[in-house]
Structure 1
Amino acid sequence: MSCDRRVISLRFNQDQGCFSCCMESGIRIYNLEPLVEKSHYDTEMVGSVSQCEMLFRTNILAIVSGGARPKMPDNILHLYDDSKKKVFMEIKFSSSIRAVRLRRDKIVVALLNKIHVFSILYPTQELFSLETRDNYKGLCEVSPLASAQKEVLIFPGHKLGSVQIVDISNTEQGISSAPVYIAAHKNELACLALNQQGTKIATASCQGTLIRVWDTSSRNLLQELRRGSDAATVYCINFSRDSDYLCCSSDKGTVHIFAIKQTNLNKRMAMSNVGILGKYGESQWGLAHFTVSAECACLCAFGPQNSVYALCLDGTAHKYVFSSEGICNMEVFDVFLDVDDDDDEF
Structure 2
Amino acid sequence: MAALSACSSPSWPLSDPISNPNPSPNPNPSPSPNPNSNFLSVPQHDHTDQSQIAEESSSSVEERRTAAEEHEEDENEDEEEEQEEEAPANSINDNLSQSPSFVPSLLHISFNQDHGCFAAGTDHGFRIFNCDPFREIFRRDFDHGGGIGVVEMLFRCNILALVGGGPDPQYPLNKVMIWDDHQSRCIGELSFRSEVRAVRLRRDRIIVVLEQKIFVYNFADLKLLHQIETIANPKGLCAVSQVSGALVLVCLGLQKGQVRVEHYGSKRTKFIMAHDSRIACFALTQDGRLLATASTKGTLVRIFNTVDGTLLQEVRRGADRAEIYSLAFSSDAQWLAVSSDKGTIHVFSLKINSGSPGNDKAHIASDPNLAVQSASSSLSFIRGVLPKYFSSEWSVAQFRLHEASQYIVAFGHQKNTIVVLGMDASFYRCQFDPVTGGEMTQMEYYNFLKPEETS
Query: One-letter code of the match for 1:51?
Result: V
CA contact (8 A) 1:62 1:100 kept: yes
Alignment match, 2:445? 333
From 159, 163, 169, give the equivalent of 2:265.
169
Task: Kindly report which structure 2 residues correspond to 1:31-110, keeping only aligned pairs within 5 A, or say none.
Answer: 31-44=130-143, 47-110=146-209
Alignment match, 1:289? 398
CA contact (8 A) 2:270 2:307 kept: no
Deviation at 1:71, TM superposition (A): 2.1
The total of aligned residue pairs comes to 330
Sequence identity percentage = 38
Alignment match, 1:127? 225
Alignment match, 1:116? 215
Alignment match, 1:157? 253
Q: Does 1:137 align with 2:227?
A: no
CA contact (8 A) 1:249 1:300 kept: yes
Give the whole-Å Cα distance in 2 for the aligned partners of 1:265 and 1:38.
45
Q: Which runs of 5+ in 1 are unaligned?
A: 341-346
Give the whole-Å Cα distance in 2 for the aligned partners of 1:244 and 1:3.
42
Deviation at 1:334, TM superposition (A): 1.4
Q: Helix, strand or coil for the counterpart of 1:104?
A: coil
Higher strand share: 1
Q: 1:305 to 1:270 in 2, by over 3 A?
A: same
Alignment match, 1:343? none
Q: Does 1:211 align with 2:289?
A: no
Deviation at 1:273, TM superposition (A): 7.6
CA contact (8 A) 2:375 2:391 kept: no
Deviation at 1:47, TM superposition (A): 1.1
From 181, 184, 187, give the equivalent of 2:274.
184
Alignment match, 2:7? none
Alignment match, 2:288? 198
Give the whole-Å Cα distance in 2 for the aligned partners of 1:3 and 1:208.
37
Alignment match, 1:307? 417
Give the whole-Å Cα distance in 1 for the aligned partners of 2:273 and 2:114.
28
Deviates more, 1:296-305 or 1:326-335: 326-335
CA contact (8 A) 1:267 1:286 kept: no
Deviation at 1:210, TM superposition (A): 0.4
Query: One-letter code of the match for 2:216?
Result: V
Q: 1:333 to 1:274 in 2, by over 3 A?
A: farther
Alignment match, 1:227? 317
Q: 1:339 to 1:133 in 2, by over 3 A?
A: same
From 123, 126, 136, give the equivalent of 1:24.
123
Greater length-normalized contact order (CA 8 Å, ≥ 6 residues apart): 2
1:168-190, Cα deviation, whole Å (9 max, x unpaired): 336xx3xxx5x420000000100
Q: Helix, strand or coil for the counterpart of 2:143?
A: helix
Give the whole-Å Cα distance in 2 for the aligned partners of 1:211 and 1:281.
16
Query: One-letter code of the match for 1:240?
Result: S
Query: One-letter code of the match for 2:386?
Result: L
Give the whole-Å Cα distance in 2 for the aligned partners of 1:44 and 1:311.
27
Larger radius of gyration: 2
Q: 1:151 to 1:49 in 2, by over 3 A?
A: same
Alignment match, 1:344? none
RMSD: 2.1
Q: Helix, strand or coil for the counterpart of 2:418?
A: strand
Q: 1:338 to 1:226 in 2, by over 3 A?
A: same
CA contact (8 A) 2:103 2:450 kept: no
CA contact (8 A) 1:59 1:81 kept: yes
Q: Does 1:244 align with 2:334?
A: yes
Give the whole-Å Cα distance in 1 for the aligned partners of 2:374 and 2:121.
37
Query: One-letter code of the match for 2:263?
Result: D
CA contact (8 A) 1:296 1:314 kept: yes
